[in-house]
Structure 1
């Protein structure tokens, strides 16, 4: 009889919740999720990173650039890489690489508008609320500036301006 009472007493005990174990499991789960997200971001950026490395190598070897100041990418009609840098003589140059080709076209940077002059032209003529990007690219065989900005109404606008003069080739307003 005493044996049966002990069994009843033991069966009525509540199990204790171990909050520390639950907390550690939640932290471990969150760490695994964070590692998966970082790994996915790295995997997703690998093609762009390898393409940029290929373009940098091409520009250094074929165009003779020593220092690279800026590398921009334009995806309008295929992929166009624009690289601004300095050659061995200390001259600022612009190199254009079209997509996966190994051809590099170079131009003197001094032949085009300076960054300050371009910004001045855009702010006085187009009055942007926010300037998103200004990339050097090719348009119909001519060196151009590809500009994206937000106007005062909050609309997205694109400009294709001549590299030397700033003359508009193409204007897309109000997207």
Structure 2
């Protein structure tokens, strides 16, 4: 305080920067942003998690498959779900088309693997990038539905037989 003409005047002092308030505010903003991102991610992934639980419930109800895992979704001809499981010690795959409740079960394990598919696409089709490799069904046969980018940058789709690699459908140059 300063005395000025016999009056006491409170002089405004410059406030000091408070590091503790800064850290509390910064931490609060960080926590709020993290919570918003987590909520957004939860809401974005919720439909897929719900579809996966619905597909697994249908497969458990309609088949005797156990140990269900590795669900894939292919959107080429509507939604096609493939779930790996086992039955009597043998690997099987269950295929469900869209919202149908009809389940098709195929033997799994004596066909082309994902690594063999990748090599096939790189060697025979000169793929630059592989977007998806999902199990599906085509004409009552277990197939791989593949999408990849060619060296020229075009998008291509292939439907190949799971067991021997025979090409059923090919869409090139999209």
CA distance in 2, matches of 1:119, 1:13: 71
The alignment partner of 2:53 has SS state of: helix
Q: Is the counterpart of residue 146 in structure 1 residue 131 in structure 2?
A: no
The alignment partner of 1:15 has SS state of: coil
Cα distance, 1:15 vs structure 2: 2.6
Q: Which residue of 2 aligns with 1:135?
A: 134
Cα distance, 1:57 vs structure 2: 2.3
Q: Is the counterpart of residue 33 in structure 1 residue 29 in structure 2?
A: no
Q: Which runs of 5+ in 1 are unaligned?
A: none
Q: Are residues 23 and 138 of structure 1, via their aligned partners in 2, closer, same or farther at CA, if it must alter by over 3 Å?
A: same
Q: Which residue of 1 aligns with 2:73?
A: 73
Q: Which residue of 1 aligns with 2:48?
A: 48
Report 1:5-20 matches (<5 A): 6-7=8-9, 10-20=10-20
CA distance in 1, matches of 2:116, 2:31: 49
- Aligned pair count reads 170
CA distance in 2, matches of 1:79, 1:159: 17
CA distance in 2, matches of 1:124, 1:133: 17
Q: Which runs of 5+ in 2 are unaligned?
A: none
Cα distance, 1:49 vs structure 2: 0.2
Cα distance, 1:37 vs structure 2: 1.0
Taking structure 1 as the reference length, what is the TM-score of the superposition? 0.82
Q: Which residue of 1 aligns with 2:64?
A: 64
Taking structure 2 as the reference length, what is the TM-score of the superposition? 0.82
Point out the structure with the larger helix share.
1
CA contact (8 A) 2:91 2:107 kept: yes
RMSD between aligned alpha carbons?
A: 2.4
Structure 1 segments, 4+ long, off by >6 Å, are: none
Cα distance, 1:12 vs structure 2: 4.1
The alignment partner of 1:129 has SS state of: strand
CA distance in 2, matches of 1:41, 1:124: 37
Per-residue CA deviation, residues 41-74 of structure 1 (Å, 9 max, x unaligned), is 1122111101101212222332211223421101
Residue of structure 2 aligned with 1:113, choices 107, 111, 114: 111
Point out the structure with the larger strand share.
2
CA distance in 1, matches of 2:81, 2:103: 10
Cα distance, 1:82 vs structure 2: 0.9
